[in-house]
Structure formats: structure tokens, C-alpha cells
Amino acid sequence: MLGPVILAASRSDKMRRIVSAAPVTKPVVDRFIPGETVDQVVPIVTDLADKGLEVTLDVVGEDITTPEQATAARDAYLELIRHLEPLGLGEKAEMSVKLSMFGQALEGGHELALANVRPVVEAAAAIGTTVTLDAEDHTTLDSMFAIHEELRKDFPQTGCVIQAYLFRTEEDARRLAANGSRVRLVKGAYKEPASVAHQDKAEIDRAYVRVLKTLMAGEGYPMIGSHDPRLIAITQELARRHGRKLDEYEFQMLYGIRSEEHVRLAAEGHRMRVYTAYGTDWYGYFMRRLAEKPANLLFFVRSMITK
């Protein structure tokens, strides 16, 4: 019940001001977003790499309103790539981008987002790594998939995300699995209407398994973005059934969530990538993490009351 309310609040400017200004917010935010600057996040990347973990880095920020902000987003990723180069981690440190941050919702947004993301993908390839296009709300996805296809002509390693809760996803998965793409499968984190998405948690889980079967049977590289122990076990079973080796798929989890499981799966020989977000514009990302688990909200509210 609380999840949709929090997701609605994640779009409210008033709530953004209240939550961002609350003095107790910061320690709770730090659990999920461990840095505000590239200098703060680089040691975290190194630390995760030392534990045998890979990363995908997200410079937080969405809901931009001007082309200049979109250019600034591109530059923030280019700066990140300059900092990653000396670490020599190659594809063990890739990047996740939200096309909204690259101008997708502005006038002429499709072309603008493509123009801004291409140099990031080029710079990533130059240091031996790649970029995954995050999935945002359903109205943005036709444009995201078209940009993904365009980028893959020159950079076939470019990945994209599909969301199990959307009705369209089973068809998207079949297309992407057949053309050999890197694909991250997640349950879906946005507030979507019943006309386009499953609303029931059990139904979303069943859809996840159906899509997972398509990806694991296909030609592409599946990236299983979930903390759900049942889905991780099913992935391992499907990998056995389809004869996929340990480097022919990977698990991905969010920084700050089930961290002991990250290390356990990596120790078993799995590729485990930790989605690590950083930056100052953390509100949208933070609110989606609260919505996923109401206990996070209770912890947050309790710390506000006891302060």
C-alpha cells in the first residue's frame, strides 16, 4: 500500500524540498548513495573490486529541464570515465545512464539524448568498458530501445534494461534475446497504470520468470537485476539447463541492499555487479528505494521522530 504513495511523492517538488532539507535524511541516503562526487565514489569502486565485485555506476539526476543540464550530465559521465581509466578495470566498471538525464523529455529529446549519450558510449569503449541504458517509465521506452539499437550498430556491447512488470516486456525480451544483446532484467520501480503493467507482486514475479527463461535460452547476455533469493535460485537452475557458463550471465544488485549476498555469490564464482549511484540529485533514486521496502521508510521516519 505504501509503495505507490511514496512513488507519487517521488514526483512532487514540495516533497523533494521537505525530504532533501530534513537533517536526518543524509545518513539514510548514504546507505544507498555512498558519495556525492566522483572523488568519493572511486575508492568505493576500488573497494568493491578488491572484494571480487564488479560495478555499474550511475550519476544520479533525472527530471532535468534545460539542454544545458543534459550537456552537464554528459560531461559528468565523461569525467567519471577519465577517473576510471587509471583503475584499469575495463568492463568490470561499466556505467548505467538514464536517458531522461540526457534530455530525452525536452523538445527534440530523442535526438538530443542520442547526441549526448553517444560520446559517453564512445569514451567508455575507449577504456574497454560499456554503458547500459536504464529503463524509466513506460512512455520513454520506445525511444530508449531505438537509441539502444542505434548505439549497438557501432557498440554492440551497449546494454539496456527491461522491466518484468510491463506487459510489453515479454515481446521486447524475445527481440533482444534473438539479436544477442546485453539485457538487464528487473521487476520495475516506477508507478505504472494497470493498462500497461501488472500490479500484483506475485504476477510480477511470474512474469519475471517467464522473461528470464526467454533471456537464458536466447543468444544474448542476461544480467539478472534482483535481490530476490527465489529468482537467483531459478537463474542458477536455468543456467545449468541451458549449459551457460558462469561468465555467460551475471547477477546485479543495488549498493547497500543485501551486501552479504553480493560477496557470497561472487565467492561462488558468479559475476556480481553492484549498481552504485552517486551525486547530489539523489531524490528520485532514494524515493524509489524507500518505495521498494516500506521498512526503509519506517526506519527513516523513526529517525526523524527520535532526532
Nearer to ligand FDA, 225 or 279 (CB): 225
Report the C-alpha gap between 45 and 48 in whole angstroms: 5
Torsion of CA 265, 292, 104, 11, to 10 degrees: -160
Compute the least distance from the CB of residue 270 to ligand FDA, in Å.
14
- Shortest approach of ligand FDA to residue 184 CB, angstroms? 6
Annotation marks residue 206 as catalytic: no
Q: Is 257 exposed, middle or buried (0-12, 13-18, 19+ CB in 10 A)?
A: middle
Instruction: State in angstroms the smallest separation of the CB of 195 from ligand FDA.
Output: 17
Residues that bind ligand FDA (CB under 6 A): 134-135, 161, 163, 184, 186-190, 225-228, 252-254, 257-258, 275, 289, 292-293, 296
| Among 58, 74, 118, 134, the one annotated catalytic | 134
Nearer to ligand FDA, 125 or 204 (CB): 204
Cell matching residue 218: 536466447
Of residues 89 and 287, the one with the C-beta less far from ligand FDA? 287
Residue whose CB is less far from ligand FDA, 2 or 126: 2
Element (H, E) at 6: helix 2-9
| Minimum CB–partner distance for residue 6 and ligand FDA (Å) | 11
Assigned C-alpha cell, 270: 558468479
Choice among 184, 271, 273, 288 that is catalytic:
184
Q: Residue 37: what are its φ and ψ, rounded to 5°?
A: -125, 165
Q: Is the dihedral of CA 143, 150, 212, 290 positive or negative?
A: negative
Q: Helices 201-217 & 169-178, crossing angle to 10 degrees?
A: 10
Answer yes or no: 39 catalytic: no
Residues with active-site annotation:
134, 184
